[in-house]
Each structure stands twice: as C-alpha cells, then as structure tokens.
Chain A
Amino acid sequence: MAVRTFVGGIHPAQCKFTCDAETVAAPVPARVTVPVGPSWVGYKVLAPRGTEVKVGQKLADNEGFMCVPTHSPVSGKVVDAKPYRAHTGLEFLGITIESDGKQELCEGIGPVGDLDSISPEDIRRIIREAGMLGMGGAEFPTHVKLSLPQGVKVDTVVVNGGECEPYLTSDHKLMVEHAARVVHGTSIVMRSVGVKKAVIGVEDNKPDAVAALTEAACKWQGIDVMPLKSSYPQGYEKAIIKATLGREVPPGALPFSVGVVVVNVATAAAISDRFETGMPLMKRLVTVSGSAVAKPSTVEAYIGTYASELVGLCGGIKGDLGKVIFGGPMMGVAAPGLDFPITKGTSGIVLLGRQEALFWKEMPCIRCGRCNEVCPMFLEPSEIHKYALAEDMAKAEKLFAADCMECGCCSYVCPSKRPLVQSIKLAKQYALARRKK
C-alpha cells in the first residue's frame, strides 16, 4: 500500500538536527513563571504571593468549561502572581516561584487505580484536574476535546505524531523514548470516548518512532501505527484525519463530526503520566535548535522555565542571533527575546542567525498559482490576499478566508515573498468577528 498523506502541502528543508541526540533532562530551575491559562480571565489564584508550594500543587483554577488548572512544577515560594507580557506580546497571568531545590511532592499525588473501574466522566475530570492542554501548540483543553456533545458518536481516536514543522523533534524523541507512555495514554483516551480503534499517525521520516510505537502498541488491542508520507502541515488536525482515515472534516466543523477525536502524542503521554504516577502536566519536551544554538538538543523542561535557561543548557547562543522563535519556523511566534517562560504548548525554541532571519524583498504577485496548489484547505490565497490588502473583507470572506488554518504554506512557496498568510489571518479575524455579532 502506498504511504498515505493529505492533499497539498509543502516539503521545507527538515533541519531536524536534534533527532539523533539524547534528550537532556533540565535541572530544576531556580525560578519559574508558570503561565495561567489558556485565557486567564476569571482565574482564581490559589497560591498568592508568599505561599509555600510543593510539586504538583494547584496554583490557580477556574471553574469555566474551557479552563484547566495550573500546577507548580517545583517546590518553593511564590514570589509573584501578576500579569506578565508573554512571548506573543499578549498579557498573561503568571505565577513566579522561587524553587527551594527540594522538589517535595504535594500530598495526594498518586496513581489512579484500575482504569476499568473508572467512568469516562471521571477520566475526563482527572484529565482536566491535571491541567491537560493540547501540547502540539494550539493549547486547546483536552477534556473539552474528549467531551462529546449529546448523541455524537465517534469511532476512532487519531493520535497525532505528525510533527511536520522543521527543526522540531520533541514529539519524535518522545515517541522513540516513551512509546509505551504514548500508547498507554492513547488507551485512556479511547476509553474516555468509548471507542475500540485508534490510529497513531507518524510521518515516515521518523522510522525509529514508527518501530518503537509499533512494538509498544502490539500489547494493546485496536491501536495501529500508521506511517504517513512526510509533508507539512501533516500535524494539522484536519490534515492528519485526511491522511490517516481519508475523511474530510467540513469547513467550520470539529473532528467529531466525522467520528474522530484527535490528540497529540505528547498529550497522550502526559495523560499516561497522570494515571501512572499522579503527576499533573508540568514537564514537557522542548526542542532547542537552529543555527544560532551551540548544541541543539531536545530538553525535558519544567513548564514555566525561561527560554534563556534552556538555551544556556544547550551551550548558549552561537554567532549573531537574528530571531527567536517559540514553536516551529512555519507557525511559531517570533519573540522579542529569550526572557519568556515556556508554556504547555511550547514544542520548540528555534534561534535563527541574522542572515537567515533577514527580510525577503517583497515583489508584486505574478499570479503563478503556487499558493493555490499547496493550500491544504484548497483556498485561493492570492485572491484572498488581494482583497484583504484592499481591506475588502467582505470579498475575502466570500472566498472562505475563515477556512484558513494559518499553516503558512502559501507564504512559504510565494516566489514574490508576499505575506499571504498574514493578510489572510487578518481577513479571518474580521470574518470570525462579524459572525459573532
């Protein structure tokens, strides 16, 4: 059988420098700033300034459906609980803790017993209480994904091991080194949504991950590992469903409308940890790479660690640093520095040299149509771009600007280096805002 993938997409240079290097376990940081969120509005701080906290202790929570609690990854003293400017430029509520280095465990943390005796509702509650967010970058609350509307039935769980962004190898290392955890977490997700079948989609440029997962999955019923032809943006939810199952999620709909629930491999592994050890989500793998990093590696880091410390752990900066990217180079955010804490969704920190980071000269559109060919949503980026620049957002919306999933393939291939996806994102924001009215 031919190796499957989705339609469209691009093949940027992989630059996966860190896929053969051992994963480095970061030491306990002296200071962390744990972001509260996804959106911190309405959060109640449970550990105000001056509180002594232990590992795994809840720092803040919000009863809202779309909210998950935040836990302390270290033991120590809360020195600050106030809004801070995050790497994205937005304000977040951050809880800054000075670690005492003892890493004392919070009381009540322990494994969940026999899975069969727990109801799906309880599984979702445990997942929420453990602060699970989509770790692929979107930071969508996992328990929300697993809570299906009344009457909706799903038949398959797709576990997303796409990791199509260049440079990033955090999911790759996780799948190789912690395959059993990924598979165990998958089985928990399957149980919480009541399905018997799961597919772990992995790009075929990670044969060692495919092998490790296949070996781990053979002990379980109904979990298949499927190698996929490498292509960006394979890790996009709708793309990986198309690639693994051949189903297309309709515009504006969520995966459950085609009977699928998608979770990231890192999220699955974190869920497994919660059930095996009782640990909430407070550590993750982060790839620190790029030409301006002395020793690129994948680091197991505590959430809230400052990027500067992780870069220091990887030998520091090499040469003339031009750009700091939180996430991968295709969809990541360029940050104004390294003094920002990593979040649950930070899969990588990519440092580019100044030469690589320089601007490309923008030229007129020559209507080559490359953007149309690569768009995984089958949009016409050049047309939407044209109307968005003319601020004719109504026309842009008619061309389905709101379908855009912001992968950036159009901007990547544009020979005239036009900021296509940037303008389409703007049109999308207009369209979504208008719909809300």
Chain B
Amino acid sequence: MRWPGARSDGVMDMSEKGLIITAAPHIRDRVATPRIMNAVFIALMPAALCGVYFFGPWAAINLVVGVASAVLWEYAIQRIWKLDVTVSDGSAALTGLLVALTLPPAVEPWVTALACLVAIGPGKIVFGGLGYNIFNPALIGRTFAALSWPSVIGAGYVSPDGIAAWKRGLDVVASATPLGLLKSGEIGSTSLSRLYGPLFFGNVGGSLGETSAIALLIGALLLLFAGVITLRIPLVYMLTTAVMAMLFNQDPVFHLLSGGLILGAFFMATDYVTSPIKPVGQIVYAVGLGLFTFLIRMFGSYPEGVAFSILLMNCFVPLIERFGAQKRFGEVRNRA
C-alpha cells in the first residue's frame, strides 16, 4: 500500500517495498505455546522411562499408542469436521502421553487408544479446541476408560519387576496398587513406612506414570526452573492432602507418595486452561483438590481420588475466578 506522505529529496524511497505494518509491540518473547507443551512433554519423560523400566514392554507399547493415537484422532477429527488442524501445537501429543501415564501400564492398548479418542474429541475439540476445554482432556479420557472397562483396567496393573518384567516379554504378573490394598484393608495404616522407599523410587504397582516419585519430581523441577509452572497449586494441593491425612489419623507421607498425587499435582492440576489464573483462586482450587482427593480415597468407593478431584475442581474454576479481584495500581482499598 502506498501512503500519501511528504517526500524528501528522495535519499531513499521505501514505500513500495512492502514494509510490514503492525501494532506495537514489535518484538515478542521467545516463549510460545508449542514450546510450553513440549517442555511439559519432556518433563514427563523421566516418569515415562521409569514406568517402562519397571513394568516392561507393555508400558512402552501403551506410551507409543497413547501419543500416536491422540495425535491421529485430533488430525482425523479436525479433518472430518473441516477445522484447522492443530496437531503441531503439541497439545494432542501431551494429552496422549498423560492418558497413557495415568492408565495402568499393561492395559490392553485398545483401551488407551479409545481413552485418547474421548480425551481429544469430547474432552477438547467439542469445546472449541485448545484453550476452551473446561476439563482436563487427559483425565476425561482416563476416567472414561476406568468407568467403562473396570475389569480390563484392573487387570492392567502389573508387578513392578524391572529387568524381570522385560525378560517375561508380553506375559504379565498382575499386582495390586498400594492404595487398592489400603482400601481393601489388606495393609494396615500403621506399617506403611516400609513402602516409602518403593513409592519414592518406583518399584511399586500403580499407573504407568505415577510409579516413581523421584522421576516425577525431577520433571517438576524442570518445569519450575523453566518458569512453566509455579509451586502454588502443587504445594497447596499436597499440603492440604497431608493435613487431611493427619486429621484422619492416616500416614501423610504414604498419601503424598502413593497414587497419582505427585503426577496430578505438578502436571495436571497446573494445566493452565483448566485452572484459575489469579493467585487467590489458585489457592482455593488447590485446597479443594486436596480435600476431595483425600475424601475420595478415604470414603469413596474408588481407591484413588486424584483424577476425580481434579475433574470436580475443574467445574468450579469459573466460579472461583469470580472472587479475588486484583488490586489496581494506585488503588486505595481502605476507603470502603
């Protein structure tokens, strides 16, 4: 476009050269949404590798099926509905990874693939895609699978045998999870300290990605240092759970380390899209998470409550966001 302008002696006449004209600012930060998604994906790798090591080949198969199917589903749905294909933003791959990590390691892969379909389709795209979903998509997929095929899911929990699991190949040895044993009363609430070590390092039954606390914490540290997440939600979430455990005379350390609490607190409760933006709201949200997680574990019919409590608190986010108005710069509050 040629603008009418005062012309000088014509030292340089640039107006024909297609200069780019946009509103300020003309520079942008390097942090971009796909990079954030990729950072979370990478931060989950230690936990995924631990799962593969302890649970054997099925874990590896399920991880690949999870990530690949989620990306494929997103591509297929967006093509069929003639939407913009957004698989390159990295969020579908991350959702697929999280679905696989929250499902049992040796679950039959078709369950993982269908869970990913529900996560990506009804969990995300029907709401309008990335940024518009109310619930954490991965947990929608996971919960869908857990409620639809409970026996298939139950059979997917296998013994964390490491090298031995790899030697067995595709044969599996079923195993119960610590929270399952606690629920059925097979382990008492007094002698749980012997489980601290296995829970911390990962040689314990459970979902693919929740097995090793240390691997998850390494990933969480990565995200903290990269500035992707803050400690506010995970810390308050875990503290609330621990306090609740103490109030009910349970072992707080056991409750912190077992189940998907660390995975949920650092990688799913912190999901930007489905958690409050304001600091006050984040604290309310995290306290709610802690309360519900513990109440479900204690009094619900399921042994584990992280997934349910996150989905439950996701519903409350719009409500929570209405409270805690930010103070404006220069605003005098005490005028009342």
A residues with a Cβ closer than 8 A to B are 10, 12-13, 30-31, 33, 84-85, 89, 94, 96, 166, 238, 242, 248-251, 253, 306, 308-309, 311-312, 316-317, 321-325, 329-341, 350, 352, 354, 356-360, 363-370, 372, 376-380, 382, 400, 403, 406, 408, 411-417, 419, 421-422, 425
Compute how far the CA of A30 lies from the CA of B9 in the bound complex, rounded to whole angstroms. Answer: 8
Known: A311-B12, A333-B24. 7 other contacts (CB 8 A): A13-B27, A323-B26, A339-B8, A364-B132, A411-B24, A413-B29, A421-B25
Task: Tell whether, in the assembled complex, residue B329 and residue A251 are in contact, meaning their CB atoms are under 8 Å apart.
Answer: yes
The answer to whether B27 touches A166 (Cβ under 8 A) is: yes
Q: Is the CB of A379 within 8 A of B131?
A: no
Binding site for A on B (CB under 8 A): 1-15, 17, 19-29, 31-33, 35-36, 89, 128-132, 272-273, 275, 277-278, 326-332
Residue among A337, A341, A403 making CB contact with B13, cutoff 8 Å? A337
- Contact among B8, B17, B272 with A306 in the assembled complex (CB-CB below 8 Å): B8
Q: Pick the most buried of B2, B89, B275: most chain A CB atoms within 10 A of its CB.
A: B89
A residues less than 8 Å from B272 (CB atoms): 366-369
- Residue from the set B5, B35, B129 with the largest chain A CB neighbour count within 10 Å: B5
B323 CB, nearest partner CB in chain A, Å: 13
B31/A415 in contact, CB under 8 A: yes
Closest 8 CB pairs of A and B: A364-B131, A408-B25, A306-B8, A337-B15, A248-B330, A84-B6, A369-B277, A250-B330
A-B contact pairs, 29 of them (CB 8 A): A33-B6, A94-B6, A238-B330, A251-B329, A309-B8, A316-B12, A322-B19, A323-B20, A323-B21, A329-B26, A330-B25, A332-B26, A334-B22, A334-B26, A337-B15, A339-B13, A354-B20, A356-B27, A358-B20, A360-B32, A363-B33, A363-B130, A365-B131, A366-B33, A378-B329, A382-B277, A400-B328, A403-B329, A415-B31
By a CB distance below 8 angstroms, the chain A residues around B23 are 334, 419, 421-422, 425
Identify which of A166, A311, A329, A336 gathers the most chain B CB atoms within 10 Å of its CB: A336
Known: A323-B20, A339-B6. A411 touches B13 (CB 8 A): no
| A308 and B278 form a contact (CB under 8 A) | no
B20 and A359 within 8 A (CB) = yes
Complex interface: chain A residues within 8 A of B29 (CB): 10, 12, 412-415
CA distance A94 to B5 in the complex (A): 11
Q: Which residues of A contact B128 (CB under 8 A)?
A: 364
- Within the complex, the shortest CB–CB distance from A370 to chain B, in Å, comes to 8
Q: Chain B contacts of A363 at CB under 8 A? A: 32-33, 89, 130-131
Contact of B330 among A94, A253, A356, A380 (CB under 8 A): A253
A336 and B329 contact, CB distance less than 8 A: no
From B11, B31, B278, residue with most partner A Cβ within 10 Å: B11
Query: Is B19 touching A31 in the complex (CB atoms < 8 A)?
Result: no
A417 adjacent to B32 (CB under 8 Å): yes
Cα–Cα, bound, A76→B220 (Å): 69
Q: Quick check: A337 and B3 within 8 Å, CB to CB?
A: yes
Smallest CB-CB separation from A334: which chain B residue? B21
Closest chain B residue to A258, Cβ basis: B330
Taking a contact as CB atoms closer than 8 A, the residue among B11, B20, B275 that contacts A322 in the complex is B20
> Which chain A residues lie closer than 8 Å to B327 at the CB level?
378
Q: Which residues of chain A have C-beta atoms less than 8 A from B36's C-beta?
A: 366, 368, 415
Question: Which one, A250, A337, A352, A379, contacts B14 given CB within 8 A?
Answer: A337
Known A323-B26, A380-B277: A308·B11 in contact at CB below 8 Å: yes
Partner of A248, one of B15, B89, B326, B329: B329
A330 surroundings in chain B (CB, below 8 A): 24-27
CA A212 to CA B153, docked complex, whole Å: 73
Shortest Cβ distance from residue B92 to the other chain A in the assembled complex, whole angstroms: 14
Q: Determine the residue in chain A with the shortest Cβ distance to B88.
A: A361
Question: Do A321 and B17 form a contact, CB below 8 Å, given A250-B330, A368-B272?
Answer: yes
Q: Contact: A366 with B8, CB < 8 Å?
A: no
Docked Cα-Cα span, A128 to B93, in Å, equals 63
The answer to whether A340 touches B5 (Cβ under 8 A) is yes
B1/A336 in contact, CB under 8 A: yes
Bound-state CA distance A161–B330 (Å) is 22
Asked whether A331 lies within 8 Å of B24 as measured between CB atoms, the reply is yes
Q: Smallest CB–CB gap between A205 and chain B, Å? A: 17
The answer to whether A31 touches B8, judged by C-beta atoms less than 8 angstroms apart, is yes
Question: How far does the alpha carbon of A341 sit from the alpha carbon of B7 in the complex, in Å?
Answer: 9
B11, A306: Cβ atoms closer than 8 Å: yes
Give chain B residues whose Cβ lies under 8 Å from the Cβ of A413: 29, 31
B100 CB, min distance to chain A CBs, angstroms: 22
Q: How far is the CA of A356 from the CA of B26 in the complex (A)?
A: 9
Q: How near does chain B come to A340, taking the closest CB pair, in angstroms?
A: 6
- Judge whether A251 and B330 touch: CB under 8 Å: yes
Min distance, Cβ A49 to any Cβ of chain B, angstroms: 14
Instruction: Given A238-B330, A421-B25, decide whether A366 and B131 contact each other with a Cβ distance below 8 A.
Output: yes
Task: Give the contacting residue for A238; candidates B6, B19, B26, B329; CB below 8 A.
Answer: B329
Q: By the criterion CB–CB under 8 Å, are B326 and A372 in contact? A: yes
Contact present for B27 and A412 (CB under 8 Å): yes
Residue of B nearest to A403 (CB): B328
Distance, CA A230 to CA B277, complexed state (A): 27
User: How close is A403's CB to chain B, nearest CB, in angstroms?
Assistant: 6
A416 touches B33 (CB 8 A): yes
Given the contacts A334-B21, A336-B3, A325 and B11 also touching, CB distance less than 8 Å: no
- Chain B residue nearest in CB terms to A426: B23
Say which residue of B8, B26, B35, B89 sits within 8 Å of A357 (CB atoms).
B26
B14 near A338 with CB under 8 A, answer yes
CB distance from A377 to the nearest CB of B (A): 5
Establish whether residues A337 and B19, one from each chain, have CB atoms under 8 Å apart when the complex forms: yes
Q: How far is A305 from B132 in the complex, measured between Cα atoms in Å?
A: 50
- The reply to whether A378 and B5 contact each other, CB–CB distance below 8 Å, is no
Interface centre among A312, A321, A415, A421, by most B CB within 10 Å?
A415
- For residue A7, which residue of chain B has the nearest CB? B329
Contact indicator A359/B22 (Cβ below 8 Å): yes
Given A363-B130, A382-B277, A419-B23, A337-B28 contact (CB < 8 Å)? no
